[in-house]
Amino acid sequence: MPKGSNTPVPTASLRVELGWRTGPGVPDADASALLLVEGRVRSDDDLVFYNQTEHPSRAVRHEGKRVEAGRATDTLLVDLARVEPSVTSVIVAASADGGAFGEVPDLRVEVRDAARGEVVARFDDPGATVETAFVLGEFYRRQGAWKFRAVGQGYRAGLAGLATDYGISVDDPGQTPPAAPPVGNTPAPAAPPPPTPSPESPAPRPAKVTLTKAAPSVSLTKQGGSAGALRVNLNWRSREETSASGWARRLARAASARDLDLDLCALYELTDGRKGVVQALGNAFGDLGRPPYIRLDGDDRTGAVTTGENLTVSLDHRQRFRRILVFVTIYEGARSFADLRATVTLRPEHGAPVDFSLDECTVPSTVCALALITNTGQDLVVRREARYLVPDRGVSPQRAVDRAYGWGMNWTPGRK
């Protein structure tokens, strides 16, 4: 698509992929989305990015980043059928870290049919030079249907400047960055008029369930969440960040966590006796359509995706599971979990989300067992573990978890 052109969107369920070629000295890039009403956000919740991964309406979700064969891809999942009637447009944006977009080769955004994988729109090379943030494209309503426009609007103040320009309040005490003027002569496209509100809107999610030491487990079956996709997310922050607040904290986290690499993993045991691990090491990312029916969505190798990592479990195959242990290891960037604060969230496709916080780590631990999912035959139960382990000298974190939970697997060295 040339800059400024538009095209109809043939389906509501879409994957928006920000892609570029990696290499020495190439800045990292992050995809984001803003849901707008007449060109402005309604609240901070209307920005979806690596540090706030899902919109309350579930219309937009930040899936994560992958690096394969010299190319990086950061992905947003967009479900236009869930976009609230008052929202007139969904902006697709990107921010650069460690340089400007003029140093990012082969930059492009592709819109794909999420079910078929077919490209329905593509915008290459927005003409970047000194910009550190870009509005690449826009989904907007026109006469009851959705279209996608190639925008190519640049900003010099990164994600903070772009967010401020659309109405996000960056509440950094003592210093609030001004809105950065767009780079170039092309004005931001005017938002189309809002459509007539639809009588249908997404059903609200049930109230979340918070697990504690006193109440450490919950039945997904009784909560109505034992089918569909179960997404598991680990979100962390450093101890110093707890004293900050609002968007100043969220935007600052990107810089403080660039060198921290935590790996979300899962041990599984199937009812036929097969056992294994899903993890980034050895590229054992798993598969949702065949055993183990678990998929690690991506590996944050640079620390850029500071919401942690996500994995998905297909509960449609729950009868094939005996047990799943979700755990996290420190790959690099920290000696232990002592200086980190983390929250685990399990989001079933149906039923209430389940979350819990990890206890403060008081031992030199590099691996933490997070949650154990057990199939009792009649029930699917999630149990909060929050158990820090200290591997013996010469023992890998994975082997330490295996020993603690009696998985009985043989381990060989792995690498990313």
Q: What confidence tens digit (pLDDT) does each residue in 288-305 have? A: 989 999 998 765 443 333
Q: Can you tell me the mean pLDDT for 16-42?
A: 90
- Among 89-98, 165-174, 251-260, top mean pLDDT goes to 89-98
pLDDT in the model for residue 293: 95
Q: Would you state the pLDDT for residue 320?
A: 94
| Alpha-helical segments (H) within 21-73 | none
pLDDT, position 243: 44
Cα pseudo-dihedral 389, 253, 70, 121, rounded to 10: 120
| Cα dist from 87 to 140, 141, 219, 329, whole Å | 9, 9, 36, 40
User: What pairs with residue 373 in β-bridges?
Assistant: 324, 382
pLDDT over 70, % of the chain: 81
Contact 238, 339 (CB under 8 A): yes
Across all residues in the chain, what is the average pLDDT?
81
pLDDT score for 237: 65
pTM summary value: 0.51
Phi-psi region of 339 (alpha: psi -120 to 50; beta: other; left: phi over 0): alpha
pLDDT surpasses 90 at 261 = no
Residue 121 confidence class, pLDDT cut points 50, 70, 90? very high
Nearest C-alpha neighbor of 298 from the set 16, 307, 366: 307
Residue 161: which pLDDT band, with cuts at 50, 70 and 90? Answer: confident
Q: What is the pLDDT of residue 250?
A: 52
The average pLDDT across 67-83 equals 92
Q: Is residue 351 very low, low, confident or very high in pLDDT (cuts 50, 70, 90)?
A: confident
Pairs from 185-190 (Cβ < 8 Å, separation ≥ 24):
186/3, 186/4, 186/152, 186/153, 188/39, 188/135, 188/151, 188/153, 189/138, 189/140, 189/149, 189/151, 190/39
Instruction: Collect contacts of 8-12 with beta carbons under 8 A, ≥24 apart.
Output: 8/145, 8/146, 8/147, 9/80, 9/111, 9/120, 9/121, 9/139, 9/145, 9/146, 9/147, 9/148, 10/113, 10/120, 11/113, 11/114, 11/115, 11/120, 12/79, 12/80, 12/81, 12/146
Q: Which residue has the higher pLDDT, 197 or 111?
A: 111
Token digits for 192?
A: 């189309």
Report whether pLDDT(53) > 70.
yes
Residue 244 has pLDDT above 60, yes or no: no
175-210 pLDDT, tens per residue? 333 444 444 444 444 444 444 444 444 444 456 788
Burial 87-106 (b: 16+ CB within 10 A, else e): bbbbbbbbbbbeebbbbbee
Query: Which of 29-43, 232-246, 271-285 is predicted least confidently?
Result: 232-246
Asked if the model's pLDDT at residue 5 lies above 80, the reply is: yes
Tell me the pairing of strands 354-357 and 209-210: parallel
Report the candidate in 193, 236, 274 with the shortest Cα–Cα distance to residue 51. 236
Residue 351, amino acid:
G
